[in-house]
Chains A and B, each alone.
Chain A
């Protein structure tokens, strides 16, 4: 082989060995494969849909649904005239209702048990540890089933409801409690509440400024609490108590009046918040542990009291560690609320990806819309997380 030929050989090999050229080649290959796969699947789907006589497109959203829904909040639903779009909206409202109340409850449970887990009291510490280890290691679905079929279903019948006081009933149809029904002039109370909240923020800012200037401390918490309670009460008195109370009463077959929470909702709420609470407790524990002990000692040596140390020194630093995993737990809770299907709570998955799908047969549209809903929630929550992270990020030199 002559030298010239060897050079040619090298040049030939080099062209394909060049990483950039190879990268372009592989990417084109991937695109071709993906496009081919999508076209193949699309073709199959089109053939299958035609063969089974299933329509496509989103026209079904405006067709009447023709089925009843157990739990309807904030909307009117009529099985004859309401459309699949209404079904979708009710599903979204129900999912949000259970997720938001679950997030609220789970946070409370999680913070309580996370703090108890750090307690120096051995018994309390172990109680929290047992709660966390037991609940985290049992599937959520088993817990939901347990709450729904083993606890709430064996509660007494409506006729022999357990009652707490005279107005609070617990039975196997859920929980009934007194309701406040607004009448004319009720608008002033929420307005007063809003004014009180705005005033509290202003007071807080003013107190901060004054403390910076003069060093005097103003009892912000008590003043704000007073504002938030007193202003709405005054508003209510001015308008002459513009609401009526509706108490649950025994009818012939059921309890009428008042508000009630259905067992499906209760089971889902309990299951979700107890399960997620255990995870949050671990997050809170590790977050507080992540703040070095030197911070506490430094605060004490500056003469700051233990309670204030926790509030002003430990918690702000712990929150920086706690919040990112906490938001992902919130996201998990929202996604897990889709297990509602198993116990018959009418959330978006049960209603839209379940009943509506079965009625119309339009699997692709229904499941895509449902997934899109969850995706947008997860996008919103991660956007919030990024914003918050940026706000509390450690500012270094």
Chain B
């Protein structure tokens, strides 16, 4: 009698310990005694941290009220943020004029959405709208002085509004300047190259604060008598020059990645330097350096907080001023946690966007 099975046996399911939740846990949490110990300790630590954060920020926190007296809980007192929300968002921008800022936000948001997202394929008109029309309209909206709008001096600008203005104007100036510097650094003219290298390395070697100090203290000395910038413009000059140097290095990285054959092909077609750069090399170089440009912008956005030191009322410094208010003693934690959360949301979404973009633009070697 032969024990030979003639039919195929039905497949057994994999062992329970290898698949599903249990398998996953065995592999990822308890693969060795040391790992099991680590898991238990970390879960304990997470539990402790999370429960105290939640009870501080939500369960024992105060949300309703108007004044310091309403802060009765043992946790955070978000009443402080609520009471000063207008100031935190707009600084001392007159309350009845704040719609102008909101309109500017909406215009810019529409433009950015059209340029950055995937919905519109032809980016020419959205780009013109976002980078030419919106800045001009926003200038007249925010500053006023024409079209029947009241003038709002820049000393009244503040809060998140000022932070966004600082970041966007600086990047707007820094990007073209950075491209010029990067081209200069790769130029064959020794004097131009030396000047660009000197500028870039000098700025990258010193902290932003000293550049801001220089802009706020030394710039007035450099200007002829009677001519003077206000504080905001001085800060903008400092920040733009500073980020231009960093931008130049990013663009240079992109330029170096473009094979020399591209330039040579352009020359052999009879294109001059500017046409070859503008039509052939730069579009490719900028495309591959977009993720790094976004990362530089994140750095720049975080660095805008430094204007606190030269006395501008950006998001951080207006909250700081609020925490030193006698009527709101002991609100430092709430204030700084709120500022940190706002910055985190902005920077984190930008960094996710940069990763998404990197994957989208990575068309070279992926199949």
Contact = CB atoms under 8 A, between A and B. Distances in A.
Interface of A: 23, 26-27, 30-31, 34, 41, 44-45, 47-49, 51, 119-124, 127, 133-134, 136-143, 145-146, 149-150, 153-154, 335-336, 338-339, 341-342, 349, 353, 357, 363-364, 367, 370-371, 374-375, 378-379
Given A137-B351, A149-B332, A371 B206 contact: yes
Q: Chain B interface residue count: which class?
A: 35 or more
B275 to A, nearest CB: 14
B221 A48 contact: yes
A119 B208 CA distance: 36
B46 interface: yes
B340 to A, nearest CB: 5
Contact of B340 (A142, A341, A370): A142
Contacts of B316: 139, 141-142, 145
B39 A124 contact: yes
A123 B220 CA distance: 55
Shortest 5 CB-CB contacts between residues of A and residues of B: A137-B347, A139-B302, A378-B205, A122-B28, A335-B207
Interface of B: 27-29, 31, 35, 38-39, 42-43, 45-46, 188-192, 195, 202, 204-210, 213-214, 217-218, 220-225, 298, 302-303, 305-306, 308-309, 316, 320, 323, 330, 332-333, 335-337, 339-340, 343-344, 347-348, 351
A138 B42 contact: no
Given A30-B191, A141-B305, A141-B308, A341 B221 contact: no
A31 B191 contact: yes
Contact of A137 (B209, B337, B348): B348
Contacts of B207: 335-336, 338, 349, 374
B205 A142 contact: no
Contact of A363 (B39, B208, B217): B217
12 contacts: A23-B189, A27-B192, A30-B192, A44-B224, A48-B225, A121-B35, A121-B38, A146-B337, A154-B332, A154-B333, A367-B210, A367-B214
Given A124-B38, A353-B213, A367-B217, A139 B195 contact: no
Contact of B309 (A26, A27, A51, A341): A341
A367 B216 CA distance: 11
A261 to B, nearest CB: 21
Contacts, number: 158
Contacts of A133: 348
Contact of B206 (A121, A150, A335): A335
Nearest to A123: B42
B305 A142 contact: yes
B339 A142 contact: yes
Contact of A146 (B191, B208, B340): B340
A349 B339 contact: no
B206 A123 contact: no
A139 B210 contact: no
Given A122-B28, A339-B209, A349-B210, A45 B222 contact: yes
Given A120-B35, A142-B316, A335-B207, A49 B192 contact: no
A123 B39 contact: yes
Nearest to A141: B305
B367 to A, nearest CB: 20
Contacts of A371: 202, 206, 210, 214
Contact of A150 (B42, B208, B336, B351): B336
B348 A374 contact: no
A51 B224 CA distance: 12
Nearest to A127: B42
A45 B221 contact: yes
